[in-house]
């Protein structure tokens, strides 16, 4: 091809064009292939992975039981954390300052304490508070329990992880609620909708598009976070494989068993998250497009 | 006046007003938005509120609908004080639920439409009648379809708002407001957010609604519309009502210097309007 002007256009049809050669992509692709192959080779050739042991224990009843405990903890703490977090989010946005201050303080404290520290703390609550009583302060008691009979590894784990989760969910829900246009509040108010009606039918469904993606990450973080409860002898997935490798000394293959299960569950959760995002994109996503939605205003 | 606007319904000025605003004051920080506004709106009357930007006309309707708190004066709907009551010997703000009950007797059409984007057009129109006015699903649906037919959008009942043009969205919003049979319908610059070619369909819809004898307060910049549809025009400037006249006199024989300047700026000197 030359740049010289010609009288008539040369007979060219771009349909015959070939793919452009892009050296950087060839080099990059090759490097990724080499790294992938060497990782696979490492996994396959290194006998210390003991894949036969992995296979043997993958569906071991105590491993599956541990997996069940981890899933149960994730679900329970996520539900409790989401409910409490939503209440705290509303509290942080309240125009009544004591409620606002209390909510902000709660979130600040429980977001700031590492979950591992919280778990150990709650598990040792009896040291600070030997008996838990309900009654008038400095007055009569109505109910009373030994702290040690209430605080088991299970309750300590649920309290610790739920409070931690609530603090994070509060921030996520608050951001979601703030993303809803003021005009929606005006319209709801002008129609005479009550507070709860406005919150549950108008604000929250629209806030969901902002709330869902980070909540998905929170569920995944919480699932992995349940491995912390092994320190208070709660029988989760990690604790289950630890019990086995303490006996058999097959540390690496047993950890691989746990890793496989964590990855499987996380993958499933990610797929569920995509579905939920799609559902709450109603009325604002472009038809047939799958993506988290941010453009609330556009829909108005 | 009525012949020129083509209205059948005569406003009933001999009865007490549906809405009465007396000495209404509202501040935003140091900014005085309303500085003692008086307004009466009678049954079946259409009142247009005109004025330059920042004159307080939007704030006025937002205060009437109790979307903004007020700093002084009083507002009455059918003689009932809005937003406050005597309690323990003093005037005190109403409880949330009492205020909601008052808000349900009015409705509002917003500049930005403010349809609920996660609901279909039909649900936008049926929600308030069902959720707060106790209509059955069948009743609400029938009424909504009738209203959507009147605004020319019955075929869009199952569409989501974002699939509609701005003009269509505003017509749905008008149907939504009318669905609760309000004592008074408030319009806050209903055509200001629309592309010019969509303004007319919305104005026609409002005009149709006005001809059914509804009591309405319309904040607008559309002079022609105000003149044709309103019974009375109110001119606001700097948070006060400067002039308030029957629609024709308002345009043909403005008394205050400020209204005359405003009409001239809007490209309508009194003589032009007459022609």
Please list every residue in chain A whose beta carbon sits closer than 8 Å to the beta carbon of residue B107: 190-191
For residue B152 the two structure tokens come to 């020319």
Does the beta-carbon distance from A190 to B106 stay under 8 Å? yes
Answer for the pair B76, B38: CB distance below 8 angstroms, yes or no. no
Taking the Cβ of residue B7 and every Cβ of chain A, the question of whether any pair is shorter than 8 Å is answered with: no
Of A181, A190, A283, the CB nearest to B162: A283
Q: Please, what is the end-to-end C-alpha distance for chain A in angstroms?
A: 52
* 3-class state of residue B37 by DSSP: strand
CA dihedral A197, A203, A206, A212 (to 10 degrees): -100
Does the beta-carbon distance from B132 to A282 stay under 8 Å? no
Query: What is the pTM (predicted TM-score) of this model?
Result: 0.80
What residue in B sits closest to A279 (Cα-Cα)?
B118
Query: In the predicted model, what is the mean pLDDT of residues A223-227?
Result: 93
User: Which of B68, B103, B116, B185 to mutate: most A Cβ within 10 Å?
Assistant: B116
For residue A252 the two structure tokens come to 């690496």
3-state helix, strand, coil in chain B (%, to 5): 40, 25, 35
Of A190, A282, A284, the CB nearest to B108: A190
DSSP H or E stretch at residue B45: none
pLDDT digits (tens, 9 = 90+) for A251-291: 999 999 999 999 999 999 999 988 888 888 765 544 444 34
pLDDT digits (tens, 9 = 90+) for B133-170: 999 999 999 999 999 999 999 999 999 999 999 999 99
Lowest mean pLDDT among A26-30, A45-49, B25-29, B186-190: A45-49
What are the φ/ψ torsions at residue B16 (nearest 5 degrees)?
A: -65, 150
Check whether B215 has a pLDDT greater than 70: yes
Predicted ipTM of the assembly: 0.87
Q: Give the integer Cα–Cα distance in Å for A45 and A35.
A: 15
Does the beta-carbon distance from A190 to B112 stay under 8 Å? no
Find all residues with CB under 8 Å of A202, minimum gap 6, and list them.
Answer: A180, A184, A187, A188, A193, B116
Q: Give the integer Cα–Cα distance in Å for B221 and B11.
A: 23
Answer for the pair A239, A230: CB distance below 8 angstroms, yes or no. yes
Answer for the pair B100, B90: CB distance below 8 angstroms, yes or no. no
Q: How many helical (H) and strand (E) elements, i.e. helices and strands, does chain A have?
A: 14, 2
Answer for the pair B210, B225: CB distance below 8 angstroms, yes or no. no
Answer for the pair A190, B103: CB distance below 8 angstroms, yes or no. yes
Of B103, B117, B128, the CB nearest to A284: B117
Please list every residue in chain A whose beta carbon sits closer than 8 Å to the beta carbon of residue B108: 186-187, 190
């Amino acid at each position: 091809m030359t740049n010289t002007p010609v009288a008539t256009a040369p007979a060219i049809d771009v349909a015959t064009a070939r793919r452009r050669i892009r050296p950087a992509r060839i080099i990059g692709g090759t490097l990724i292939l080499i790294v992938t192959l060497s990782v696979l080779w490492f996994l396959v050739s290194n006998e210390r992975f003991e894949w036969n042991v992995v296979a043997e224990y993958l569906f071991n009843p105590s491993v599956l039981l541990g997996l069940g405990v981890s899933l149960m903890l994730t679900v329970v703490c996520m539900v409790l954390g989401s409910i409490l977090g939503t209440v705290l989010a509303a509290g942080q946005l309240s125009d009544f300052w004591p409620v606002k201050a209390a909510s902000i303080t709660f979130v600040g404290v429980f977001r700031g304490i590492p979950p591992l520290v919280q778990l150990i703390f709650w598990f040792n609550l009896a040291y600070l508070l030997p008996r838990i009583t309900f009654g008038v302060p400095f007055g009569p008691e109505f109910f009373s329990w030994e702290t040690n009979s209430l605080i088991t590894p299970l309750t300590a784990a649920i309290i610790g992880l739920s409070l931690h989760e609530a603090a994070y969910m509060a921030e996520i829900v608050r951001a979601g609620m703030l993303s809803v246009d003021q005009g929606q509040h005006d319209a709801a108010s002008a129609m005479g909708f009550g507070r709860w009606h406005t919150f549950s039918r108008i604000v929250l469904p629209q806030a969901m598009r902002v709330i869902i993606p980070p909540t998905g990450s929170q569920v995944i973080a919480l699932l992995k976070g349940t491995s912390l409860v092994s320190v208070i002898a709660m029988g989760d997935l990690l604790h289950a494989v630890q019990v086995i490798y303490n006996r058999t000394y097959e540390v690496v293959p047993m950890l691989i068993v746990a890793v496989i299960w964590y990855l499987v569950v996380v993958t499933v959760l990610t797929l569920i998250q995509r579905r939920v995002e799609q559902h709450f994109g109603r009325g604002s996503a472009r038809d047939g497009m799958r993506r988290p939605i941010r453009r609330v205003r556009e829909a108005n | 006046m009525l012949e020129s606007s083509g209205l059948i319904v005569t406003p009933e000025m001999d009865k007490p007003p549906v809405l009465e605003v007396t000495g209404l004051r509202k501040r935003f920080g140091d900014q005085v938005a309303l500085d003692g506004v008086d307004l009466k709106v009678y049954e079946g009357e259409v009142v247009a509120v005109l004025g330059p930007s920042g004159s307080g006309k939007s704030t006025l309707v937002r205060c009437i609908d109790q979307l903004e708190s007020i700093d002084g004066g009083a507002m009455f709907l059918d003689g009932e004080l809005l937003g406050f009551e005597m309690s323990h010997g003093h005037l005190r703000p109403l409880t949330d639920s009492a205020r909601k009950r008052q808000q349900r007797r009015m409705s509002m059409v917003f500049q930005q439409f403010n349809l609920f984007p996660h609901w279909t057009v039909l649900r936008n129109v049926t929600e308030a009648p069902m959720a707060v006015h106790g209509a059955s699903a069948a009743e609400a649906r029938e009424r909504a379809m009738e209203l959507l037919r009147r605004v020319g959008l019955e075929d869009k009942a199952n569409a989501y708002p974002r699939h509609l043009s701005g003009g269509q969205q505003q017509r749905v919003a008008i149907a939504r407001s009318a669905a609760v049979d309000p004592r008074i319908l408030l319009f806050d610059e209903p055509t200001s957010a629309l592309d010019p070619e969509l303004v007319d369909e919305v104005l026609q819809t409002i005009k149709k609604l006005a001809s059914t004898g509804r009591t309405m307060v319309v904040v607008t910049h559309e002079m022609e519309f105000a003149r044709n549809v309103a019974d009375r025009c109110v001119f606001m400037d700097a948070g006060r009502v400067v002039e308030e006249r029957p629609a024709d006199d308002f345009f043909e024989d403005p008394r205050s210097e400020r209204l005359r300047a405003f009409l001239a700026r809007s490209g309508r000197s009194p003589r032009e309007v007459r022609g």
